[in-house]
Structure 1
Amino acid sequence: MEKENFTISVYTENNIGLLNRISAIFLKRHINLDSMTASQSEIKDVFRFTIAVKVTEEQVKKIVGQIEKQIEVIKAFYHKEEQIIYQETALFKVASKLLFEERQIQNVIKNSNSNIVTVTPEFFVLEKTGRRREVDALYRKLEPYGLMQFTRSGRIAVTKEKMHISKILENFAPEELL
């Protein structure tokens, strides 16, 4: 089987140590995470991990099965790239003098559909939201000018199809979760 990009969505209770146990599942299988994010989900008191990995479908099925065995995990799903809408965000810190001295950098900003978040006498910060390849392209264009700092978020994603997670949760602990 060929490796593909998968996004795993894990709906959980918010308990200490769960992140460690979930990451241990990947560690045991020698699988590197492309990204992992955690946030409140669409349901009160239910949290969501969004994990991006490149593995075979057989591997992702086993991983999701192992994740679901964790007591605090309510439900885990995996999705192929074409089943989701996903983005990531990056921040680029660049010396302010370049904004005024290098005309080309203004074109890079405009053509990349990035936003200037803040400007100080010493630096300015650009924000770029998009697919990984779009963020990588902006990085390559800005790198020759000298990046002072760079950081990116992990993948965030929603499915194209309706996920019936609310119905699934009704079967668990409706008084506590909904």
Structure 2
Amino acid sequence: MSEKKQWFTISVYSENNVGLLNRISGIFLKRHINIESLNVSKSEIENVSKFTIVVHTTEDWVHNIVGQVEKQIEVIKAFYHTDDETIYQESALFKIASHLLFDERQIQNIIKESNSQIVTVSRDFFVLAKTGRKHEIDEMHDQLEPYGIMQFVRSGRIAVSKEAMQITALLNGIHK
């Protein structure tokens, strides 16, 4: 019986060196696993970056990949979690023609019901910001699409684990 595919969030703590992203993405490429979402930012630890990578694969494959990622010299530690084990969000911006804000009552309802925010309004367009789960952003996109979306962009997933990731303790042990 083959193992079931599911969504995993991989957190990689590393030094942020040139070429590391290329090598990490190569690990996924070799295994024909698509990276669905990628975010790189500073972490809670000074001078340590956090890569947040979302993939849809089996637990065997993600376990394998995390092991390969950890072999990269700049990588301090990598973890993987299921969606149930993380708290996560995405952000999106929608650029819409300004006249719709006033001419289409439904646009105002979409804004209110989706808990999105108007970031800016100009003569020609306005920009909505929405933070939430992937399906919430997809739903808002589907509701706005019939009215015409001038531009749309979404971030990669950002996530924290529900359980403590012992990265700080690990680093304190290394630096003692």
TM-score band (shorter)?
over 0.9
Q: What is the rounded CA distance, in whole Å, between the counterparts of 1:46 and 1:110 in structure 2?
A: 38
- Specify the SS of the correspondent of 1:104: helix
Amino acid aligned to 1:129? T
Number of the residue aligned with 1:103: 105
Partner-residue secondary structure (3-state), 1:171:
helix
Written as runs of structure 1 = structure 2, the 5 A alignment for 1:63-142 is: 63-142=65-144
Name the aligned partner's letter for residue 143 of structure 1.
E
What TM-score do the two structures reach when normalised by structure 2?
0.97
Whole-Å Cα distance in 2 between the matches of residues 169 and 67 of structure 1? 18
Which one of the candidate residues 5, 27, 39 is aligned to 1:25? 27
User: Quick one: distance in 2 between partners of 1:129 and 1:160?
Assistant: 19
Shift of 1:171: 3.0
1:60 matches 2:62: yes
Quote the Cα distance in structure 2 between the aligned partners of 1:24 and 1:82. 27
Tell me the equivalent position of 2:11. 9
**Which of 154, 162, 165 in structure 2 is aligned with 1:163?**
165
- SS of residue in 1 equivalent to 2:73: coil
Q: Which amino acid aligns with 1:158?
A: V
In the alignment of these two chains, the number of paired residues is 174
Is the partner of 1:48 in helix, strand or coil? strand
Question: 1:51 maps to what in 2?
Answer: 53
In structure 2, the gaps of 5 or more residues are none
Per-residue CA deviation, residues 47-71 of structure 1 (Å, 9 max, x unaligned), is 0000000000000000000000000
Report the alpha carbon displacement of residue 29 of structure 1 after superposing the two structures with TM: 0.4
1:32 CA displacement = 0.5
